[in-house]
């Protein structure tokens, strides 16, 4: 989440059709976001609700989830006098998550996504309830949602029920321990405070709602947790691939590599868009460097250098596919049943399987695969810089007195450990399934597991890249110090434009490693630099917008 001092008031209008990953990420991470429904969305929502109200009042026709039980109990009819009780029982009983809580930005993203599905007008929820969800976003109430417990079919039932537990209340009694838990943002202390859902809503001045027919199911039946996890991961991954190109450019210079491998004439002959873009980035970043092409006897670099654009081709092009899947899912109706007011039948509720998150599950597993490869190839470059037999005359472990001092030796071990951990995490969750609900729900997607694994891998890759940046900056320092013994030249004139911008930003916060010190602090500081948008912005100010 962004620092409160940096936030600006933004507005997001939900119409159920046009939400983008960039808009979602910005609104989820900006506490000053104002999210509202378009007028056309409000009109559509009212139409589907009007029909649900009629069913609730008449008690007919028999409609799944409105006046029947849930899952395998769909054949159990519920008296119209008990429909409120049915919805409350659904939320209370389905709040069965486990494990550590989801990050606040993920939960906020899920709330926005659920509201965007409401905006399409097929969920049968009252405007009052949908507006209350958006009010929670605006006033800083974020439900505490355990990360584990969803199968990714019948929607993300358990986690979304924890969200609804905070928003809703009992019919006659409202015990605090039936309100779940929630974070409330304290505008004075600028901190999130975890309390009961009841207390958080009261602190924000938001009344909790007694749910009417269909509304519990409208709140907890959808793919929003899986989609939110993946959408924010994709948002971060799109930044990460640019950082990978920057790290590669710095490493190429630190190892006195060959620039010809990045000429457009080569990459245009293969024509993968991601490959062309990555090669173009490298050319821009190394422009003006005096460290390249200095060894006439060396005609080729190792694959981890020379083939970086080709590897990034698969990564970038797969990310484009994942984004397409996500944007469709973000702007879809994924409830059950779906209320279609214009449907030419007495029963305008259609039961289907739009809650099944298999497309999201596959996309999340694809993301895990490509993120793994960013870490894999980065670690190979780290190793190359570490080894005196491979790094072109630099000292072992990039320390001036190797043997007495170990320098960055163990940082490479850490990178190798993270790479190996990622390989264990990358096993696809989407190929697994286990039946539930008396075998009514006999095939599930495991999308939230896939998405959580992708986020874990992304965080590991950020740590790996941080280590490569530390190595590359250290290598550049050694090259520059060697050059200074021959010619008086500034780093700005010695390094490539982009490499110098990145190097300068790093050295403003992390000094040259002249003697052994606890490296974990440098690694943590470097990762913090990478996730700060100012680092990438500074490099792009120097070389132009990276692709």
Residue 436 pairs in a beta bridge with: 441
Question: CATH topology of 4-222 equal to that of 230-333+372-543?
Answer: no
- As a whole number of angstroms, the distance between CA 12 and CA 232 comes to 17
Q: Which helix (H) or strand (E) holds 112?
A: helix 104-119
CATH architecture of the domain with range 230-333+372-543: Up-down Bundle (1.20)
Which two tokens mark 282?
């490298």
Contact call for residues 363 and 322 (beta carbons, < 8 A):
yes
Backbone angles phi, psi at 302, to 5 degrees: -65, 160
For 541, residues 6+ apart whose C-beta sits below 8 A from its C-beta are: 501
- As a whole number of angstroms, the distance between CA 341 and CA 119 comes to 14
Contact call for residues 113 and 165 (beta carbons, < 8 A):
no
- Please classify residue 172 by burial: count the beta carbons closer than 10 Å to its beta carbon, then call 0-12 exposed, 13-18 middle and 19+ buried: exposed
Pick from 354, 350, 349, 352: nearest CA to 52: 349
Residue 192 pairs in a beta bridge with: 185
Q: Are strands 338-339 and 146-148 parallel, antiparallel or unpaired?
A: unpaired
- E-assigned strands of 335-431? 338-339, 349-350
Convert 225-246 to b/e letters by CB count within 10 Å (16 or more is b).
Answer: bbbbbbbbbbbbbbbbbbbbbb
**3-class DSSP assignment, residue 435:** coil
- As a whole number of angstroms, the distance between CA 490 and CA 499 comes to 14
Q: Which helix (H) or strand (E) holds 327?
A: helix 308-330
Task: Provide the annotated active-site residues.
Answer: 64
- As a whole number of angstroms, the distance between CA 537 and CA 547 comes to 13
CATH architecture of the domain with range 4-222: Orthogonal Bundle (1.10)
Phi/psi class of residue 515: alpha, beta or left (left: φ > 0; alpha: ψ in -120 to 50)? beta
Pick from 51, 59, 60, 14: nearest CA to 34: 14
- Please identify which residue in the block is written with the tokens 């790094």: 391
How many helices, marked H, and strands, marked E, lie in the chain?
20, 9
- As a whole number of angstroms, the distance between CA 422 and CA 372 comes to 6
Pick from 268, 360, 371: nearest CA to 323: 360
Domain residue ranges of the chain, discontinuous segments joined by +: 4-222, 230-333+372-543
* Helix ranges, 390-446 (H): 409-425
Return the pLDDT at 3. 43
- As a whole number of angstroms, the distance between CA 358 and CA 333 comes to 15
- As a whole number of angstroms, the distance between CA 194 and CA 144 comes to 8
The alpha carbon of 51 is separated from its chain's Cα centroid by a whole number of angstroms, namely: 37
Pick from 117, 133, 109: nearest CA to 30: 109
- As a whole number of angstroms, the distance between CA 364 and CA 455 comes to 9
Which two tokens mark 18?
């046009």
**3-class DSSP assignment, residue 73:** helix
Q: Other C-beta atoms within 10 Å of 16: how many?
A: 24
- As a whole number of angstroms, the distance between CA 352 and CA 373 comes to 37
Return the pLDDT at 518. 97
- Please identify which residue in the block is written with the tokens 């429904």: 37
Q: Which helix (H) or strand (E) holds 277?
A: helix 273-286
- Please identify which residue in the block is written with the tokens 């606890």: 518
Print pLDDT tens along the chain (547 aa).
544 445 677 899 999 999 999 999 999 999 999 999 999 999 999 999 999 999 999 989 999 989 998 888 888 988 888 999 999 999 999 999 999 999 999 999 999 999 999 999 999 999 999 999 999 999 999 999 999 999 998 889 999 999 999 999 999 888 999 999 999 999 899 999 999 999 999 999 999 999 999 999 999 999 999 999 999 999 999 999 999 999 999 999 999 999 999 999 999 999 899 999 999 999 999 999 999 999 888 889 999 999 999 999 999 999 999 999 999 999 999 999 999 999 999 999 999 999 999 999 999 999 999 999 999 999 999 999 999 999 999 999 999 999 999 999 999 999 999 999 999 999 998 999 888 887 787 888 889 999 999 999 999 999 999 999 999 999 999 999 998 877 888 999 999 999 999 999 999 999 999 999 999 999 999 999 999 999 999 999 999 999 9
* Helix ranges, 168-307 (H): 197-204, 215-220, 224-254, 264-267, 273-286, 303-306
Q: Which helix (H) or strand (E) holds 110?
A: helix 104-119
Return the pLDDT at 6. 55
Backbone angles phi, psi at 349, to 5 degrees: -105, 125
- As a whole number of angstroms, the distance between CA 158 and CA 161 comes to 5
Pick from 184, 200, 180: nearest CA to 192: 184
- As a whole number of angstroms, the distance between CA 53 and CA 387 comes to 72
Backbone angles phi, psi at 356, to 5 degrees: -75, 120
Return the pLDDT at 483. 87
Return the pLDDT at 296. 83
- As a whole number of angstroms, the distance between CA 45 and CA 31 comes to 26
Q: What is the pTM of this model?
A: 0.94
Return the pLDDT at 436. 86
């Amino acid at each position: 989440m962004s620092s409160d001092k940096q936030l600006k008031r933004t507005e997001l209008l939900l119409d159920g059709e046009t939400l983008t990953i960039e808009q979602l990420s910005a609104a989820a991470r900006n506490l000053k976001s104002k999210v509202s429904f378009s007028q056309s969305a409000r009109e559509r929502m009212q139409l589907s609700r009007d029909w649900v109200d009629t069913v609730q009042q008449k008690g007919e026709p028999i409609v799944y989830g409105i006046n029947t039980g849930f899952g395998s109990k769909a054949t159990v009819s519920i008296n119209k006098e008990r429909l409120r009780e049915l919805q409350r029982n659904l939320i209370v009983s389905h709040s069965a998550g486990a494990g550590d809580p989801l990050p606040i930005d993920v939960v906020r993203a899920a709330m926005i996504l659920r509201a965007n599905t409401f905006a399409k007008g097929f969920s049968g929820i009252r405007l009052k309830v949908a507006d209350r969800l958006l009010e929670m976003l605006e006033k800083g109430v974020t439900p505490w949602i355990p990360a584990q417990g969803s199968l990714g079919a019948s929607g993300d039932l358990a986690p979304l029920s924890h969200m609804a537990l905070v928003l809703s209340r009992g019919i006659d009694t409202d015990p605090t321990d039936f309100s779940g838990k929630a974070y409330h943002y304290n505008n004075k202390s600028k901190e999130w405070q975890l309390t009961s859902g009841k207390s958080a809503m009261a602190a924000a001045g938001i009344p909790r709602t007694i749910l009417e027919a269909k509304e519990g199911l409208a709140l907890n039946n959808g793919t929003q947790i899986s989609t939110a996890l993946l959408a924010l991961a994709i948002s971060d991954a799109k930044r990460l691939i640019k950082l990978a190109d920057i790290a590669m450019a710095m490493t190429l210079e630190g190892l006195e590599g060959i620039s010809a491998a990045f000429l457009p004439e080569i990459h245009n002959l293969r024509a993968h868009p991601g490959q062309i873009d990555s090669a173009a980035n490298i050319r821009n970043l190394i422009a003006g460097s005096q460290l390249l092409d200095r060894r006439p006897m060396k005609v080729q670099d190792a694959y981890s250098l020379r083939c970086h654009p080709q590897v990034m081709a698969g990564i970038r092009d797969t990310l484009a596919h994942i984004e397409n899947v996500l944007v469709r899912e973000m702007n879809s109706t994924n409830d059950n049943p779906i209320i279609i007011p214009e449907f030419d039948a007495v029963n305008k509720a259609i039961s289907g399987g739009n809650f099944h998150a298999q497309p999201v599950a596959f996309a999340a597993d694809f993301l895990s695969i490509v993120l793994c490869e960013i870490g894999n190839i980065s670690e190979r470059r780290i190793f190359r810089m570490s080894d005196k037999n491979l790094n072109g005359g630099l000292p072992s472990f990039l320390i001036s007195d190797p043997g007495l001092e170990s320098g960055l030796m163990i940082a490479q071990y850490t990178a190798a450990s993270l790479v190996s951990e990622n390989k264990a995490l990358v096993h696809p969750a989407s190929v697994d399934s286990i039946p539930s609900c008396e075998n009514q729900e006999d095939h599930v997607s495991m999308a939230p597991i896939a998405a959580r694994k992708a986020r874990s891998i992304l965080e590991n890759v950020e740590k790996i890249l941080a280590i490569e940046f530390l190595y590359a900056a250290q290598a550049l320092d050694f090259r520059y110090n060697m050059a200074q013994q021959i010619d008086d030249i500034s780093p700005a004139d010695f390094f490539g434009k982009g490499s110098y911008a990145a190097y300068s930003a790093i050295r403003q916060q992390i000094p040259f490693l002249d003697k052994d010190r606890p490296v974990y602090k440098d690694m943590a500081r470097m990762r913090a630099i990478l996730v700060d948008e100012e680092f990438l912005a500074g490099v792009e100010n120097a070389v132009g917008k990276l692709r």
